Structure 1
């Protein structure tokens, strides 16, 4: 078993067994010669109830989840194309898909003995909605390893504590493709209309496209820098955890040695005490015999 398999098993475990399962599999990874995987596994956070149910959806209802994420793709394409009719058509479908998936998820949880409160049900729905809206959140939900529910707040995804969610940022190729389609369509319409200002409009469109490309390149560079920094922080944390674990093992070994030395010292003290008692008895007997011998000698 490697780290990925162990992580899947940990998040697939019943919520009440998360810690025990994580610790047991971490020990197994370490015994199998993967101390880094063991340390990474022990760092996994226990999911909240809403996150646990979302992970359950990823495992048990993958087809419905795929339908939800595909609907999100349709929304993004329609938005990029400024297709108002398509957006009005998709909106009621969005509510229907979310309602059904949330209802089926609640039933799944109930089958496993987990009844959802109104607050948890709301957080679950917000998580599914975030998955529909944001591709990165969708991939995070699909992975089935959430530790916290998600919520879309307009400019990104946060967890249920309001903190930015630690989901993997992805390049939005679908949005770029939709923008390219819109530009191609606009260019074709301009050419067909044979407007006098076509060269100027084409130049303006080119400048706009180049500006957008430069902005996308800057965004990719920022994301790459953030990812590199996050990787360095993770590696530093793993190294610190390994060092701390090594120190714990060293102290455990020293403690065992000290206990063994103490046990040997206590055994030596006991043995010497016994020998001392026997020596004292022998001395008393010898003194007694000496007195008897002196008395006998004096009588002669």
Structure 2
């Protein structure tokens, strides 16, 4: 069984156990909370999956979301209309992604080091922009969209835009030349360059896309939790990376599926929700997330090593080819 298929099966088992043994897990209100709380991770997981497949990573996504929310709150306090604020926040995401992408693709700096630096920088700018204020008086219709659900069902309104973005991401990654190029870059950047793929341009576009969806996540976060603060989405990058790697995306690049990544996102979200209902402390949940991150890195590697060892044993045990009889 492939790793992403195993994660999907594990998610199904976890859901069955949670419905059966965790009190109040199956009521509509809790399920809507589960989906709504998981959507920020799932949104950023879409471009992060493509970025990791291409051999890069962006650890500034949580800070970009926090900066977007802080700018949203500051502009709302200044009297600007929310319909104008949201495009400005998305443009801010483009700028953040461009900074990361240009430092990596044009200066040749490692994305891990670059985005650790911008993670701190963007969070600091967010604190400068909004300070310690908390903005909560956004328009009711936007708050209802961010946190509301359809009637008495468990389906949040925000799920539908996410499904549209998910469908687009699946098509791009698994059914277009762009997606095949991302896999080729992750497998061997030098070979991809010699085959005519515009490696730097494609990586830059992935960083920009990650920045835009991180900024969109910051807007959704502020509306979903009805609060814009500079520290919104703190630690979100850990959850995104853990979920993506848990879904079978190879951190070295070149391997993985978007379906596995989304399965990893909802596996992590369901586990955290079930632990919260069981009164497991937030600190313990962080420990579980860290352990899952280690397992998600080690698991596929151990599986590949076992498969290679079995293949070598089968090759060694195979009888030598018989020489053809002379005529």
TM-based fold match above 0.5: no
Structure with the higher helix share, 1 or 2 = 1
Higher RCO by CA contacts (8 Å cutoff, separation 6 or greater): 2
What is the TM-score with the length of structure 2 in the denominator?
Answer: 0.27
Structure showing greater radius of gyration is 1
